[in-house]
Amino acid sequence: MTNADVAQAFFEIADLLEIGGEKSFRVTSYRRAARAISDLADDITDIAARGELAAIEGIGKSTAAKITELLETGRVAYRDELAEKVPLSTLELLKIPNMGPKKVALLFREKGVDSLTALQQAIDDGALADLKGFGPKSIDKIREGIDFLRKAAGRTRLGQAWPLAERLRALVAEMPGVQRVEHAGSLRRGRETVGDLDLLCIADNGAEVIAAFTTLPLVDKVLAAGDTKGSILTDGADGPAMQIDLRVVPAQHFGAAWQYFTGSKEHNVRLRELAVRRGWSLNEYSLSEGEKIIAAATEEEIYAALELPWVPPELREDRGEFDLRATPTDLVTVADIRGDLHMHTTASDGRFSIEEMAEAARARGYAYICITDHSQSSVVAGGLKPDALRRHIEAIRAANERVDGIEIWAGSEVDILADGQLDYDDDLLAELDWVVASNHHYLHDDRDENTQRALRAIRNPYVNVLAHPTGRMIGRRSAKPLDLPAIAQAAAETGTALEINAAHQRLDLKDQHARLAVEHGAVLSINCDAHHIEGFEQIVYGVLTARRGWIRPEQVVNTWTAEKVRAFVAAKRA
């Protein structure tokens, strides 16, 4: 059972309690426990085996006992008891925009609505007409929310939401009277998936901006249109169908709104607690003492008034940022990246030649790249037989001579085989400048076997990076179990990097795993795994993931000079 499975069970307990009208402190305690579990980098089964569950912040003895019960039996009796009173299918209703636990509880208690299907039927039958708080406008919005859920099918990957958000930001910025427009929400925090998009702007005439926003060509439905807020559903024709909220905020309150609509729920609760201890209040309008505004115009002044350093958006998850003594100004940025060490060309399953990939990388300002086409076992991807790889190495060397302004290195993405051996023998690997080891075919649910296979590859003197270690595909395939502390320790000891694969389908290692890796002394490599020249654009997602893991440039090998990368390779081979 994975950490995500365990966390999901406790999130469900919290939701069932809330729908059932339980006291807020009990709901909060289970939600805090679920969040703590989902944030773990170590495997919870290992923590449980060591008897250390109660040592996790946010996990008490009672919760630890329930976790143990879940791990041993696959069930939590308490959750089952709650589900007898409030069916689990009722939780589907919480996914509808603006549908909170109180409304869901009312629907269930008064009308027996316990699923999206039942809610749709109740609306169609007119059964909600006499229910307080469910007037015609409210029902229309719920109907639209159901339609949206079915169209959008849940959360959207960061790499799908980002281009749409950037396009909308540019469109709003061009509207008359708009002085400033910024992203907020989970997109600004760089989360791997996004529920909806939040934009804030400063403008001369809010009503005019909202009117223009709600009539953009990509609008499918208008959910709200007032003087200061507009909410739309996009049509999905150019990117995913998503809900987009735009708020027009006075300049003097912009900082408070930006902070409020950016921070995670957990981060914002902690901030409000700090304000309340001083007898103040904090909301989207200001940090205030009664009617006196203490801070509102900038985020920095709000944090400063609470005696905190300004916290970068990616860290606003209540994962230790409240212990900061100063703003971490040295988190890795896209500008720090000097090259990419994992990419593909037409020699295997890429779309562009060696020279074309090199020229695209040079245009980005990169100093070096490594061409890493697939090895022979990746038949579907056009993997290269040994003789073909040797010819490919010669072609890369020749391209390096022809293309000025960037170094082009010869590498390979080499499959890790079932027994942990690599797809090429060491004599051939020695001819390469950089070796990416990947497990494409043999990751499964046996944690120890997965780990031993990865460790054998890491200990090979020619392997320089373990690529997308857990094999996950966001929304399609869950991460396979690995002893990540052991892998990170081995990587540190052998001088092997661990990859943050920046392709938005992967983002593997994820943020907390990246943080664990560097805490064990390992270094990382943020690569796009590009199969197309446009693939280089995905570096932003890898960097956001690294920033969420508190990663600094010196912990990322492809922020180093070419000379330092070569020395890194030579040191392991020596």
Q: What whole-number distance in Å separates Cα of residue 317 and Cα of residue 409?
A: 39
Say yes or no to pLDDT of 39 above 80: no
Domain, as residue range, for 287? 254-323
Q: Whole-number mean pLDDT of the chain? A: 93
| pLDDT at residue 23, as a whole number | 83
Identify the band that residue 28 occupies on the pLDDT scale cut at 50, 70 and 90: confident
Residues 399 and 529 in one domain: yes
Identify the band that residue 163 occupies on the pLDDT scale cut at 50, 70 and 90: very high
Identify the band that residue 101 occupies on the pLDDT scale cut at 50, 70 and 90: confident
Say yes or no to pLDDT of 151 above 60: no
Q: Which helix (H) or strand (E) holds 386?
A: helix 386-402
- Report yes or no on 316 lying in a domain: yes
Residues 6 or more apart whose Cβ sits within 8 Å of residue 45:
1, 71
Residues 373 and 439 in one domain: yes
Residues 285 and 423 in one domain: no
- Report yes or no on 112 lying in a domain: yes
- CATH code where residue 208 lies: 3.30.460.10
Report pTM. Answer: 0.80
pLDDT in tens, 226-258: 999 999 988 877 677 889 999 999 999 999 999
Residues 223 and 264 in one domain: no
In the chain, count of helices (H) and strands (E)?
Answer: 22, 17
pLDDT in tens, 329-353: 999 999 999 999 999 999 999 999 9
Six token digits for residue 161: 């939401």
- Report yes or no on 122 lying in a domain: yes
β-bridge pairing 243-248 and 197-203: parallel
- CATH code where residue 134 lies: 1.10.150.110
Average the pLDDT over each of 102-106, 316-320, 353-357 and give the range with the smallest value.
Answer: 102-106
Are the CB atoms for 496 and 527 separated by under 8 Å? no
| pLDDT at residue 149, as a whole number | 66
Side by side, which strands form the sheet with 292-295?
A: 281-282, 287-289, 292-295
Residues 189 and 130 in one domain: no
Nearest to 248 by CA among 278, 274, 209: 209
Q: What whole-number distance in Å separates Cα of residue 529 and Cα of residue 542?
A: 11
Residues 474 and 567 in one domain: yes
- CATH code where residue 265 lies: 3.30.210.10
Are the CB atoms for 310 and 327 separated by under 8 Å? yes
Domain ends where: 299, 323, 347?
A: 323
Q: Per the structure, how many domains does the chain have?
A: 4
Residues 133 and 186 in one domain: no
Residues 450 and 543 in one domain: yes
Residues 61 and 74 in one domain: yes
Say yes or no to pLDDT of 389 above 90: yes
Average the pLDDT over each of 42-46, 48-52, 80-84, 255-259 and give the range with the smallest value.
Answer: 42-46
- Report yes or no on 328 lying in a domain: no
Are the CB atoms for 311 and 324 separated by under 8 Å? yes
Say yes or no to pLDDT of 372 above 70: yes
Residues 148 and 160 in one domain: no
Say yes or no to pLDDT of 160 above 70: yes
Please, what is the Cα angle at 197 between 301 and 4, to 5 degrees?
95
Coil, helix or strand at residue 524: strand
Average the pLDDT over each of 123-127, 339-343, 408-412, 430-434 and give the range with the smallest value.
Answer: 123-127
pLDDT in tens, 511-526: 999 999 999 999 999 9
- Report yes or no on 184 lying in a domain: yes
Domain ends where: 323, 342, 372?
A: 323
Please, what is the Cα angle at 524 between 487 and 400, to 5 degrees?
125
Give me the DSSP letters along 403-446. Answer: STTSEEEEEEEEEB-TTS-BSS-HHHHTT-SEEEEE-SS---S-
| pLDDT at residue 24, as a whole number | 81
Q: What whole-number distance in Å separates Cα of residue 343 and Cα of residue 361?
A: 11
- Report yes or no on 521 lying in a domain: yes
Residues 105 and 167 in one domain: no
- Report yes or no on 56 lying in a domain: yes
Say yes or no to pLDDT of 153 above 70: no
> Angle, to 10 degrees, between the axis of helix 3-19 and the axis of helix 101-111?
60
Six token digits for residue 19: 């729908």
Amino acid sitting at position 231: S
Residues 194 and 83 in one domain: no
- CATH code where residue 491 lies: 3.20.20.140
181 or 147, which is more confident? 181
User: What sign results for the dihedral spanned by CA atoms 535, 545, 523, 565?
Assistant: positive
Q: What whole-number distance in Å separates Cα of residue 218 and Cα of residue 169?
A: 13
User: What sign results for the dihedral spanned by CA atoms 452, 456, 459, 462?
Assistant: negative
Burial label for 355, CB within 10 Å (0-12, 13-18, 19+), is: middle
Are the CB atoms for 110 and 134 separated by under 8 Å? no
Six token digits for residue 56: 């996790």
User: What sign results for the dihedral spanned by CA atoms 459, 460, 466, 472?
Assistant: negative
List for the chain the helix, strand, coil content (%; round to 5).
50, 15, 35
Residues 6 or more apart whose Cβ sits within 8 Å of residue 381:
344, 348, 349, 374
Domain ends where: 222, 248, 274?
A: 248
Identify the band that residue 148 occupies on the pLDDT scale cut at 50, 70 and 90: low
